[in-house]
Homo-oligomer: A and B are copies of this chain.
Amino acid sequence: MIPHQIRSFLEIWKKLPGLGPRAATRLAFFIANMKAEERHALREALAGLDAMDACPECFSLKEEDRSVCAICGNTERKRDLVAVVEKNTDIITLERAREFQGTYLILGDLGTNGILEEHHRKRMEHLKKRIEKEKGTIKEVILAMGPNALSDMVYEMLKRDLSPLGVSVTRLGRGIPTGGEIEFADEETLKSALRRRM
């Protein structure tokens, strides 16, 4: 009863975050009812995402033809300060607060299963090497994650690994509710949390 094109669309698109079967169904019919040129524009925008890869310094997504991302490549940013975040969208929210002037490192989504994965450890190792390579430039690493058991563990690991290199490891001031996510924090809360980092 549902045309096979719609079913094929649902099969794949319903797995994306924030969609699910019902939202994907509405989306499928809405898109199928659009004019061909509007649908073409959606497809072009989607195809554009192919021309991206990870910044070798912070792992945020960047235009493929740049060597580093816009933030790592910006000479106005403070080199002595690195914020460790879970994901790209956290950077966007932090940038919106216009308080942080340093650079970033994306550790990867910590997820909900309470386990630190191999790829998280590799990113921490990468940060350590970056600090050693930049010889004394990086003075402070701020853990910009909501407080929970796993980020507490990351904080302790960073302190253990980076303190011997002369780097002070801090985290966002309380103000972020326990279990909360950076991405959904409002700008004022973020400003105060950046100013009152512990």
**Chain A residues packing against B (C-beta within 8 Å):** 1-6, 8-9, 11-13, 16-19, 23, 25-33, 36, 39, 41-43, 45-52, 61-63, 69-71, 87-89, 91-92, 95, 183
Contact = CB atoms under 8 A, between A and B. Distances in A.
B12 A45 contact: yes
A45 B13 CA distance: 8
B30 A17 contact: yes
A167 to B, nearest CB: 25
Contacts of A3: 52, 61-63, 69-70
In the complex, the count of this chain's copies comes to 2
Q: Which of A23, A45, A62 has the most CB of B within 10 A?
A: A45
Nearest to A62: B3
Contact of A16 (B27, B50, B71, B183): B27
B36 A50 contact: yes
17 contacts: A1-B92, A2-B92, A5-B52, A6-B49, A9-B49, A16-B27, A16-B30, A17-B26, A25-B92, A26-B89, A26-B183, A29-B61, A29-B87, A31-B49, A39-B49, A39-B50, A43-B46
